[in-house]
Amino acid sequence: MTGVILAGGQSRRFGSDKALARLGGHTLLERVAASLDSCPQRLLLAPPGRYALPGWTVQAEARAGEGPLAALETALAWAAAQAGPGWVALSGVDYPLLTPAVWQVLAAAAGPGHLAAGFLGGGTDPEPLPALYHTALLPRVTAALDAGERRLRQPWLEEVGVWLDPLAAGLPPGTLADADTPADLAALERG
């Protein structure tokens, strides 16, 4: 499995560089990276020179500025080139409570016939992050981008994946909480 963190965004809602914000003595970037430490290949999608993370390759998105689907395309292509066909564990930098158990739950659910595995948010809607995506999706992702799509939420992605209720899957409440704003981060600090 290849671990990939998306850290190339503008952090507009956060107001400052979200990846460098701190929670519990560590940056959000360090916390997400720790959840993926067991991955033999690790890619940080960010502008070169912005961050340094030991053991991680830093690379810009191939289609910079074209949205999260373009980031997935870069992640899948890089993983396929590095390790051949397989799974990509994809997370944004704003999920600081992730643990290795999250990825273990998804890997166990990603069986034959699935090309994605993720969690349901707020009911029955699949959340595109954090999730596993198979490198076999690369041609379909590239075609969607070439057709003008930019969003990571694609109906066809939902159809090829397995989407779990996080609580039913045994994750503690709040594990998938994200920190999009300083208020979100403050709420996570309060517990």
Domain ranges of the chain: 2-190
In contact, 86 and 1? CB cutoff 8 Å: yes
- Gap between the Cα atoms of 33 and 29, Å rounded: 6
Instruction: Please provide the average confidence, as pLDDT, over all residues in the chain.
Output: 95
2-190 folds as: Spore Coat Polysaccharide Biosynthesis Protein SpsA; Chain A (3.90.550)
Q: What is the pLDDT of residues 36-49, one digit of tens each?
A: 999 999 999 999 89
Whether the per-residue pLDDT at 123 is higher than 80: the answer is: no
Task: Give the residue, 32 or 190, on which the prediction is more confident.
Answer: 32
> pTM of the predicted model, to two decimals?
0.96
pLDDT range class, residue 188, cuts 50, 70, 90: very high
Phi-psi region of 84 (alpha: psi -120 to 50; beta: other; left: phi over 0): left
DSSP bridge pairs for 5: 44, 91
User: What's the Cα-to-Cα distance from 178 to each of 54, 98, 111, 130, rounded to whole Å?
Assistant: 24, 10, 27, 10
pLDDT range class, residue 29, cuts 50, 70, 90: very high
User: What's the Cα-to-Cα distance from 5 to each of 111, 117, 148, 168, rounded to whole Å?
Assistant: 23, 16, 24, 25
Which amino acid would we find at residue 167? L
User: What's the Cα-to-Cα distance from 117 to each of 27, 39, 61, 74, 154, rounded to whole Å?
Assistant: 26, 17, 22, 18, 14
Q: What is the pLDDT of residues 135-164, one digit of tens each?
A: 999 999 999 999 999 999 999 988 999 999
Task: Give the residue, 64 or 89, on which the prediction is more confident.
Answer: 89
Q: What is the pLDDT of residues 84-110, one digit of tens each?
A: 999 999 999 999 999 999 999 999 999
